[in-house]
Amino acid sequence: MTPSAILESALYVTDLHAAEAFYRDILGLEPLGKVEGRHVFFRCGEGVLLLFNAEATKIPPAPDARLKVPPHGTVGEGHLCFAASADEIAEWRRHLAAKNIAIESEFEWPQGGRSIYIRDPSGNSIEFAEPRIWGL
C-alpha cells in the first residue's frame, strides 16, 4: 500500500486570530471549521490546511470525547509549500507586495522551477513553488 495524496497538512501557530486573518484575507483560503482557542481549518484545493494552537493540541481528549484525536503539536517554525505556476508566482509577488508582505527569498531551483518564500504571523515559512521542482 502507498498513500495516494496528502489530505491535510498542519501548521502550529502562536496567535490563531492573526493566523486566521492571514490565511483568509491575505492568502484567500476558504474557512472550513473553527474551535475558538484551539484551531481553524481552511480548504485548499483538494486538501485541507489545519492551523492549530500547539498548546491546545497537547491536551489529551477526555475519556468520553466523541472524537478521540490523540495529542500532537510542535514548537518552532514550520514549513508549507503551495503549488503555483510561473504565472501564478508572478501574480503572488504582486499581490503580496500590495498587502505589504515581504518576500523573504526567491530563486530558481537547479532542476528548474521557481520558489518564493514568505512568513506567516507565527513565523512559519510559507513557500509558493512550481510543482516541477519535484518533477511533478
The more confident residue out of 65 and 120 is: 120
Q: What is the pLDDT of residues 84-118, one digit of tens each?
A: 999 999 999 999 999 999 999 999 999 999 999 99
Domains, the chain, ordered by start: 8-62+74-134 (3.10.180.10)
Q: What is the pLDDT of residues 1-37, one digit of tens each?
A: 988 889 999 999 999 999 999 999 999 999 999 999 9
Residue 86 sits at φ, ψ, to 5 deg, of: -60, -45
Q: Residues near 58 by Cβ (< 8 Å), separated by ≥ 6?
A: 71, 72, 73
pLDDT of residue 72: 87
pLDDT of residue 26: 97
Q: What is the pLDDT of residues 29-74, one digit of tens each?
A: 999 999 999 999 999 999 999 999 988 988 888 889 888 888 888 8
pLDDT of residue 3: 85
Instruction: Provide mean pLDDT across the span 67-82.
Output: 90
Distance between CA atoms of residues 69 and 114, nearest Å = 37
pLDDT of residue 73: 84
Q: Residues near 20 by Cβ (< 8 Å), separated by ≥ 6?
A: 31, 34, 40, 51
pLDDT of residue 69: 87
Ramachandran bin of 37, using left for φ above 0, alpha for ψ from -120 to 50, beta for the remaining angles:
left
